[in-house]
Every structure is written in C-alpha cells, then in structure tokens.
Amino acid sequence: MIAIKVPARICFFGDHQDYLGLPVIAGTVNRYICLRAVPIERKEFSVVLKDLQQEFVIPLSGKSEKIRGKDYFRSGISILKDEGFQFSQGYHIEIWGDIPINAGLSSSSALVVAWIRFLVAVQPRKKPISDLQIARWAHQAEVLFFNQPGGLMDQYTIAQGGMLYIDTNTGESTRLKNGLGRLLVAESGLPKKTLSVLKNAREYAQNAISSIRSVHPEFDLNSVSPEDYNRYLEIVPDQYQEHWYASVHNYQITKAAKEELLYWNPDLKKLAGLMNEHQLILQSRIQNTPTEMTQMMEAAKQAGALACKIIGSGGGGCMLALVGNNNIEKIKKAFLETRAKAVYEVEIGN
C-alpha cells in the first residue's frame, strides 16, 4: 500500500505578487489531502474522490486521450511520461482530506502535489527526487500545462513545507522562523472566485508595468522602491493605477516581513501591523475582499485579533487571524456571529 499526506498552504504576505515575479511568504498548515493506493490486477488507475463522491478510471494502456482543462491527474501523468516515467502497474486509489475546497487554502494544489508524489512512488526503480523537483512538476501539471493565470507559490510551498520566502522568478526558497503566534482560519462560506480575480488582477498589474516599460525599457520591478510609485504614476493609465500601487507597496511589505521573520524572536506586533497593511491594499486596491468578509475580519479584530487577512486569490474563501495570546474563544465567536461557516486553530508545519 502507498500512503501519502500533503498539507494545505496559506500565503501570509505577497498575495497577487507571484505572477509578477515578486516574492511571497507562505507556509504549510496542518490541514491535509490524503491519498491511499493499493495494487490491482487491472492496468488502470481507479480513482475515488471520497469527499466529492466521484469515481473515474485512467487506463494505463491504449491510445492516449485528449486531456481536458483541469484534469490534473492526466496532465501529471503526461508530464512525467515526458520525463521518462512509465506506468504499467494498476492501482485502486482513494483520495480525501480536511482542506476546504475552493476556499483559498490550495486544496487543488495539495491534490496535485499528492498525485505527483504518488506517480513518483509507483516507479519500479526508485531514484531520489527532491521536494523542489516535485514542486516543479506540480506547477507544470496544474498551471503551465493548461496556461492558467496562477504563479508557482502554491506548489512550491506545499511540496517543500514550513514557512518560506519564495523568489518566484527562480523558485529559490528561504526558510523563515515561525513567528506569527497562534493562528485561526475562518471559512466565510462564500465560494472563492479564483480564475476571474486572478485574471483581472494579473492583467491590470502587468498592463501597469508594461506601460512603464514602454517609456523606460530598463525598468526592473524587482528593484522598485516606494519612491518609484509616484515617479512612474503619471505614466500608468488611470484604470491600472490601483494595481500599480498594490504591486509596489505589497512588495515592500513582503520584504519587511521577511526581515522580521529571519530573527530568532520576531516582533509579532510589527508583523501584525504589516499584515493589516497588506489586507487593506488587497481590499481597497485589488478589491478582492467581499464586504461580508471585511465585516467578519473587523469583528475578529474588535474581539482581540492582532491582524486578519483574506487567504488566496479572493472573491470569497477563508480568512486568517493572528491571535497572539488573546482570548481565542472570543475571536472564534466573533467570526461565527458574523456568519462565518467554521473557525479552527491551525499550526504551521516544519
């Protein structure tokens, strides 16, 4: 039997930055996608998605089928076949988990990473495969294969685990201290609008940058400073100026958070202030936070949460609260009384 367990992901700083080649700070938490596989005589992968009550079969012999959008199972197989992997032994595979679906905790990326780990595990000749390579293949299978508008943060965080500062140009990761204290995740009950929010945010930010480069070809976003916001503002068309602001200032927030999280004893109040600044930009500039979720987070802060932010691309999904040593039950109650679907404590993995 093969058993695989893959964690959820939370982006703490740098939302809507990875597709611009800017860094992010993300970490894995103790919510999981689980996969269990047992060999069978039939030359097929018989897959059961227990939470969705779905079943399907992937034949391992015969003519290859056209791969439809979001079929990450077949895209993963295709990518690894291109790498020389072979699949002949059949398996009955069950997949389940406690990561909320379409809620910002990267359930889909966790599923893809679990699937890639399974495909590697069934190879008859075992050879060392790094977590970074698993991340690359998962990113290919989920994003590049289907030309989707996401970046690499989700797959690279989930495959490597822990709290990471990720250079999204190179994929290079720096391990950070877990200095965020006690954490709550609240499920809003509102479905996330991943593709529409990502597509608009990405296009607007990239158009803002392109307008600057049309005048200043030497412009490098990775070297941008707060002073550059005003310097280039008049070049950016009005409709893209909010996303230009978000690109510059969220980058500065992420760098400041990294600096703090490299210390042995990070300043939680400083990190909370940076997170609240980040959320304000997300809701007022990128406008990815529904009013209902803003009200939930405000209630949580009034109840004692040090900081709150939306998780993931936005439009719905989950929220994160830094609670420090404050009354965690009071903060949970504040979320629930403002109609959050569920609230629970999470821990960052190692």
What are the pLDDT digits (tens) for 85-96? Answer: 999 999 999 999
- Burial of 271-296, coded b for 16+ CB within 10 Å and e otherwise, reads bbebbbbbbebbbebbbbbbeebbeb
Co-location of 170 and 68 in the same domain: yes
Domain that holds residue 89: 2-175
User: d(Cα 305, Cα 64) in Å, to the nearest integer?
Assistant: 52
Q: Mean of the per-residue pLDDT values for the chain?
A: 93
Q: CB burial class (10 A; 0-12, 13-18, 19+) of residue 133?
A: middle
User: Taking residues 80-88, what's their average pLDDT?
Assistant: 93
In contact, 32 and 11? CB cutoff 8 Å: no
Round to whole Å and give the CA distance between 165 and 170.
12
Same domain, 152 and 195: no
CATH no. for residue 314?
3.30.70.890
Q: Are residues 145 and 269 in the same domain?
A: no
Pick 28 or 65 by higher pLDDT.
28
* 300 and 163 housed in the same domain: no
Q: At 62, which CATH number?
A: 3.30.230.10
Number of domains in the chain: 2
Same domain for 226 and 78:
no
* pLDDT (mean) for 245-272: 96
Alpha carbons 28 and 344: distance in angstroms, whole number: 15
Q: Which of 130, 150, 175 is the last residue of a domain?
A: 175
**Would you say residue 64 has pLDDT above 80?**
no
Of the residues 130, 158, 175, which one is the last residue of a structural domain?
A: 175
Give pTM, 2 decimals.
0.93
* CB proximity list for 101: less than 8 A, separation 6 or greater: 51, 52, 107
What's the DSSP call for residue 348? B
Checking if the pLDDT of 127 tops 90, the result is no
Query: Are residues 150 and 201 both part of a single domain?
Result: no
Check whether 315 has a pLDDT greater than 90: no
